[in-house]
Amino acid sequence: MPEQPSLRSELAAATRILASHGLIGMFGHVSVLTEDPQRYLVCPGAGARKDRCRPEDVLELDLDYEFEPGLPLELYMHSEVHRLKPHIKSLIHVHSPALVALAAMATVPADLLMLHASFWPSVMPVWDEPDLVRDRAAAQRLIGILGDEAIALLRWHGAVIVGRTLHEAVFRATLAEEHSGQLVTALSHGQPLAPVPESIDREDLYAKVLSPRTHDMHWGYASSFVTVPPGARG
Amino acid sequence: MPEQPSLRSELAAATRILASHGLIGMFGHVSVLTEDPQRYLVCPGAGARKDRCRPEDVLELDLDYEFEPGLPLELYMHSEVHRLKPHIKSLIHVHSPALVALAAMATVPADLLMLHASFWPSVMPVWDEPDLVRDRAAAQRLIGILGDEAIALLRWHGAVIVGRTLHEAVFRATLAEEHSGQLVTALSHGQPLAPVPESIDREDLYAKVLSPRTHDMHWGYASSFVTVPPGARG
Amino acid sequence: MPEQPSLRSELAAATRILASHGLIGMFGHVSVLTEDPQRYLVCPGAGARKDRCRPEDVLELDLDYEFEPGLPLELYMHSEVHRLKPHIKSLIHVHSPALVALAAMATVPADLLMLHASFWPSVMPVWDEPDLVRDRAAAQRLIGILGDEAIALLRWHGAVIVGRTLHEAVFRATLAEEHSGQLVTALSHGQPLAPVPESIDREDLYAKVLSPRTHDMHWGYASSFVTVPPGARG
Amino acid sequence: MPEQPSLRSELAAATRILASHGLIGMFGHVSVLTEDPQRYLVCPGAGARKDRCRPEDVLELDLDYEFEPGLPLELYMHSEVHRLKPHIKSLIHVHSPALVALAAMATVPADLLMLHASFWPSVMPVWDEPDLVRDRAAAQRLIGILGDEAIALLRWHGAVIVGRTLHEAVFRATLAEEHSGQLVTALSHGQPLAPVPESIDREDLYAKVLSPRTHDMHWGYASSFVTVPPGARG
């Protein structure tokens, strides 16, 4: 069964890639569903060095596994997306600066600034409960709010980004923070932005601009900047 | 008496952590009260390399010790907080960019943008004397303005951040600059931000989101990025 | 024929210089026309490590060469500028953050903020088709929009910058992102900027401030920060 | 005559310090008057690696020396300040991003945001000729505009900063860019800033907050981050 170790290595690499982009660090986490739809892999919780994540640091859990110290505090984001939406193979939770700034705006702007970020929702789903996502019920509400979108913002907190593959989720997460940064910069001008014509369907655009081949190319590119920490097994 | 060396090592580590985050450098300082409530430890003053602070560089002073060259110029911030508020174990003074920008605003915005920064005061205390905090009387006025809050801004200058432990103060200081940066970014939009519901008490939120366990996890995390300079004793 | 290897080395160096400035990375590309006006050199496509580009990684293509995987997806930007404007020796395509933010503005500001960026058009040409530049016809429309200017913005996408030499194009590209960043920063103030007097012709200014000698000095300067990757041939 | 080599070493260190802060690079230069008021030292011109400036790279020139390639293009800024204002021992010319953004504003804000930048003029002198400062007459006009202030902005270009010692000029230059960055950030809020009370004289404030001892401490601090390039003589 060589797939399992490989997925474990990929999740460790995803953790290091997200850390190298400043998307996760003290906080933030990433999961991937295994071939067994009852089980998922997730990176270690707050306090672990994400930039040094080794395959053997990755945790494999059953969807019903209960939170315990050492796991991400908001673990159920992952279990519940994998339970409710098995076609979503990966969820990433970040507290990155531009996404937090965007999440604070009373009316979250939905402008699309980069064709490459065309997974950006026309109407941004926003979680606005003033608490962390601590239990299964809260996590299920969050996944309900996310709906079929690729990203949802969490007010006073950050964002969750999902993908149909781990590669897609990682690429979207890096583009999401980049896009948000460019969006808040452009908005600081105080003048209107040029809208993508409404006749253009964002899903069509996404399919055209960001094929799975591009996700895989990005994965190879981003991976080449992060090395497996010395002494890692698995 | 093994605690004293340990506290000295911790203050040196705090100094290096704050330097690694760009919170202190040429200017800025951190103190911690010792078990003897008449004595405190403080990092060296302006000009010392904070990123290389060794345990033996840390100064141990009596609350009544008078300023002298080599000590932080605004030393009395530390002695007076430790004298007037002995439950406050640590005070950090920073000149970091986002906090300075925020301190310049005629009406300092008090929006809370991150649950993790829920120590942020609903009404920000602001010191507005156009001078450094040079003598004991000025320091006592500053501590009076701070009141029971975790942070106060100093106009045209920076901020002081306090904690009931050194770990809490260091974590709050890093979150304070991060929060300020996200706040000024979000405000550059020129549109209203989404307020945390007034029914939510910030103290309750803080207790829920940021337990002492989280402060200690952050300490371990942040410490792992800074190493003790070679040849350090103590 | 010692020129060809030299041009190949120069294009590889240009690729590394643009990468070291964060102008190209996963995306973005640069070309240069060869002495044979039917052939051009171009860096590898998305996914290649631009910061490690070696002379042997550079591709030499005929103007009529058709896109294939491994080449820049928007290859025809290069072939068509070299076909239609043979006096333009180099074209650079970037997705850098400030240029993307500027390209998003409904009315693109044309203020000139730096004498050194006096190649900045008085009226910025803007491509506003909501798609990548994928085929020869689209590329020819883009080159038509560019006209005789040094730069055109692509809405929701980035910019193309051209030069009469590779050195000029590289210098302009670094100045274009720097200028855009300073422009969006200055605009965030929300107040009018000081216009360069209309009596000043930008072309005259450019000729005065940025001679070919300056381009070559910049080339030498910027090259000195990037080294040829070990084991490179050619 | 051991002073001259020492001053040469100090100017080389100043050049490296300014480069390490991103204040000078491809462009930008610094001078210091020698004990002989007819002669000054200046760093090399555009294209030289400022971050590797060695004592032997520093040029010693007579006030009447004419520009030639290899020297800073705007050499006469230095010769003329040293001729007209011999009590000014050092002039620094920068193109740094926040100062350029500030220089672009039709009405340059004169708010003082940091007590430590209290050399900031109440009314900022602004050079607004749309050209480089290329000849002695232009340089003399610039020095006239500067008057008795510590800094003048050059529209579409950058700034000049002066000091009564090299240490003061270097400290002021680093503070000037830092202060400008915080100022444009605070201004992006679009709301009024809190003015330092008009009863406070900026010169008095400067004398109180920034003594020559502080300049020297900063020099020691900043120098400790830059090392003399290997193999340097002098």
Confidence at residue C198, expressed as pLDDT on a 0 to 100 scale: 84
Does C221 contact D26 at a Cβ distance shorter than 8 Å? yes
Mutate to test the interface with C, among A185, A193, A201, A202 (most CBs of C within 10 A): A185
CB contact under 8 A, D188 and C189: yes
Q: Does C102 touch chain D (CB under 8 A)?
A: no
Contact B184 D186 (CB under 8 A): yes
Using the beta-carbon criterion (under 8 Å), do B193 and A106 form an inter-chain contact?
yes
Give the pLDDT of residue D80. 98
Could you read off the pLDDT of C137-169 as tens digits, one per residue?
999 999 999 999 999 999 999 999 999 999 999
Q: How far apart are CA A62 and CA A40, in angstroms?
A: 6
A203: pLDDT strictly greater than 80: yes
Is the pLDDT at A141 greater than 60? The verdict is yes
User: Taking CB atoms and an 8 Å limit, are B194 and A104 in contact across chains?
Assistant: yes
Asked whether the beta carbons of residue B98 and residue D185 sit closer than 8 angstroms, the reply is yes
With CB atoms and an 8 Å threshold, state whether A101 touches B113. Answer: yes
> In chain B, whose CA is at the least distance from the CA of A69?
B213
Angle (CA) C96-B178-A59 rounded to 5° is 85
Nearest CA in chain B to A70: B217
Instruction: Please indicate if any CB of chain D lies within 8 Å of the CB of B26.
Output: yes
pLDDT for position A228: 77
pLDDT given for residue D230 in this prediction: 73
> Which of C20, C102, C116 to mutate to probe the D interface, most D CBs <10 Å?
C116
Euclidean distance between CA atoms A217 and C47, whole angstroms = 5
Mean residue pLDDT across chain C: 93
Interface test with D, best of C178, C179, C184, C221 (most D CBs within 10 A): C221
Average pLDDT estimate for B197-219: 90
End-to-end CA distance of chain C: 13
**Separation of alpha carbons B37 and B61, rounded Å:** 11
What was the pLDDT predicted at C103?
96
| pLDDT at residue number C87 | 97
Question: Looking at beta carbons, which residues of chain B come within 8 Å of A128?
Answer: 194
pLDDT band at B110; cut points 50, 70, 90: confident
Rounded-to-integer distance, Cα C174 and Cα D125, Å: 29
A-C C-beta contacts closer than 8 Å: 87
Per-residue pLDDT for A4 more than 50?
no
Structure confidence at residue C211 (pLDDT) = 86
Enumerate the residues of chain B whose CB falls inside 8 A of the CB of residue A25.
221
The confidence band for D228, taking pLDDT boundaries of 50, 70 and 90, is confident
Q: What is the pLDDT of residue B189?
A: 86
pTM reported for the whole predicted model:
0.95
pLDDT band at D233 (very low <50, low <70, confident <90, very high): low
How close does chain A come to B193, measured CA to CA in Å?
4
Interface check for C105 against chain A (CB to CB < 8 A): the answer is yes
Low-confidence winner among B130-139, B141-150, B156-165, C202-211 (lowest mean pLDDT)? C202-211
**pLDDT band at residue B24 using 50, 70 and 90 as cut-offs:** very high
A39 part of contact set with chain B, CB < 8 Å: no
Query: Cβ B97–D186 below 8 Å, yes or no?
Result: no
Question: Which stretch of A29-33, A93-97, C174-178, D114-118 has the lowest confidence by average pLDDT?
Answer: D114-118
- Scanning every residue of chain B, which has its alpha carbon at the shortest distance from the alpha carbon of D217? B47
Q: Which residue type sits at B28?
A: G
Note the pLDDT of residue B228. 77
pLDDT mean across residues, chain D: 93
Tally of CB atoms within 10 A around B146: 23
Residues B208-221 as b/e (b if ≥16 CB within 10 A, e otherwise) read ebbeeebbebbbeb
What is the pLDDT at residue A233? 64
Instruction: Please state the rounded mean pLDDT for residues B96-117.
Output: 94
Helix, strand, coil percentages for chain A (3-state, nearest 5): 40, 15, 45
Q: Please tell me the predicted confidence (pLDDT) of residue A26.
A: 95
Measured in angstroms, the CA of D109 and the nearest CA of chain C are apart by: 10
Q: What is the model's pLDDT at position A2?
A: 41
**A210: pLDDT strictly greater than 90:** no
CA separation for the pair D207, D214 (Å, rounded): 11
Closest of A2, A75, A18, A78 to residue A52, by C-alpha: A18
For B125, the token pair is 């205390």
Contact status of C104 with chain A (Cβ, < 8 Å): yes
Supply φ then ψ for residue B193, to 5 degrees: -95, 160
Strand-pair partners of D160: D93, D152
The DSSP result for D54-99, as a single string, is: -GGG-EEEETTPPP-BTB-TTTHHHHHHHHH-TT--EEEEE--HHH
- Sequence-distant (≥ 6) Cβ neighbours of residue C131 within 8 angstroms: A115, A205, A208, A209, C138
Interface touch D130/C196, C-beta < 8 Å: yes
Say whether A130 and B196 touch across the interface (CB within 8 A). Answer: yes
Per-residue pLDDT band for D4 (boundaries 50, 70, 90) equals very low
CB contact under 8 A, C221 and D49: yes
pLDDT of residue A211: 86
Contact (CB<8Å) C190/A190: yes
Residue with the two structure tokens 């809405």: C155
For chain A, report the end-to-end CA distance as a whole number of angstroms: 13
Q: How far is CA A44 from CA A135, C76, C177, in A?
A: 18, 45, 38
Tell me: pLDDT of C1 over 60: no
B186 touches chain D (CB under 8 A): no
pLDDT band of residue B3 (cuts 50, 70, 90) is very low
B52-101 tens-digit pLDDT: 999 999 999 999 999 999 999 999 999 999 999 999 999 999 999 999 99
Answer whether C47 touches A (CB < 8 Å): yes
Residue C230: the pLDDT is 73
**What pLDDT is recorded for position A227?**
85
Q: Is B21 on the interface with A (CB under 8 A)?
A: no
Rounded mean pLDDT of D120-127? 96
**Inter-chain residue contact B26 with D182, CB threshold 8 Å:** no
SS3 for A167? helix
**Confidence at residue A56, expressed as pLDDT on a 0 to 100 scale:** 94
Residues on chain C touching A201 (C-beta within 8 angstroms): none
Tell me how far apart the alpha carbons of residues D129 and A39 are, in angstroms, rounded to a whole number. 69
Q: Is the pLDDT of residue D1 over 80?
A: no
Q: Say yes or no to pLDDT of B4 above 50.
A: no
Closest alpha carbon to B81 in B127, B145, B17: B145
Mean of the pLDDT values across residues C44-65? 96
- Per residue in A100-116, pLDDT tens? 999 999 999 989 999 99
Work out the percent of chain C whose per-residue pLDDT is above 70.
97
Contact (CB, 8 A) for B104 and D193: yes
- Could you give the angle at which helices A76-84 and A136-146 cross, rounded to 10 degrees? 60
* Alpha helices by DSSP H, A85-211: 97-103, 136-146, 166-187, 202-209
User: Would you call C186 an interface residue with chain D, using a CB distance cutoff of 8 Å?
Assistant: yes
Q: Answer whether residue D138 shows pLDDT above 70.
A: yes
What is the Cα Rg of chain B in Å?
17
Please state which of the ranges A63-77, A195-209, C24-38, D67-81 shows the lowest mean pLDDT: A195-209
pLDDT at residue C116 tops 50: yes
Q: Would the CB atoms of B182 and A155 count as touching at under 8 Å?
A: no
Spatial CA neighbour of D18 closest among D10, C181, D113, C186:
D10
Average pLDDT of the residues in B176-181: 97
Per-residue model confidence (pLDDT) at position C233: 63
- Tell me how far apart the alpha carbons of residues B96 and B158 are, in angstroms, rounded to a whole number: 7
Say which amino acid occupies A36: D
Q: How high is the pLDDT of residue D137? A: 98
